[in-house]
Amino acid sequence: MVRYSESGVVEWVQSGGGPLIAVPETVLPFWTGADGEENASDYDRACEIDGYLGLLPVGDSAALVLGDQPASTAFLPEHGAFVRLWAAESEDEVLAGVDTAITSAEWLHEVRWEVPGTVLLFDSAWPGKDTDRTDCLRVELEPGRYAVRAANVQPGPETWLGLVQLRRLP
């Protein structure tokens, strides 16, 4: 995990260059990452997602792909949001800007995601069965339907963030 301050308030996950993916824990063994046929791997499918986010079938569920560009990413449960660090001086600067970022965001894209429970966020190149060998972040979610939306924001003069917010639907 990458930490941007000595306090290590939140855990950050990075990718080796491709998209990050949030895979439901129940279907982790079905995510094969970059393993597989040439140009037909799960990683290739994740790289084909156009825009800030998208869903891919995995087993009998779906995984959430955080697209656009690789970025250190954390999950802030109090905001129900993944925070993607495009640029900032420190973790403290990022965290100080999240409230403003969420309230001022112009949300660009939204999908509906049916979640069976806890998901793991990790580099989409890794197979799900190997998440114990790479940086990953366990995000505990209540089973159910979520509206997932994305935005890019600049909460400070030198701070640029991507947001992916999950809102539980009734």
Full 3-state SS string of the chain: CECCCCCCCCCEECCCCCCEEEEEHHHHHHCCCCCCCCCCCHHHHHHCCCCCEEEEEECCEEEEEECCCCCEEEEECCCCEEEEEEECCCHHHHHHHHHHHHHHCCCCEEEEEEECCCEEEEECCCCHHHHHHCCEEEECCCCEEEEEEEEEEEEECCEEEEEEEEEECC
Which tens digits make up the pLDDT trace of 49-59? 988 999 999 99
Please report which confidence band the pLDDT of residue 39 belongs to, taking 50, 70 and 90 as the band edges: low
- Extents of the domains making up the chain: 20-168
pLDDT of 18 > 60? The answer is yes
Please report which confidence band the pLDDT of residue 8 belongs to, taking 50, 70 and 90 as the band edges: low
pLDDT of 66 > 90? The answer is yes
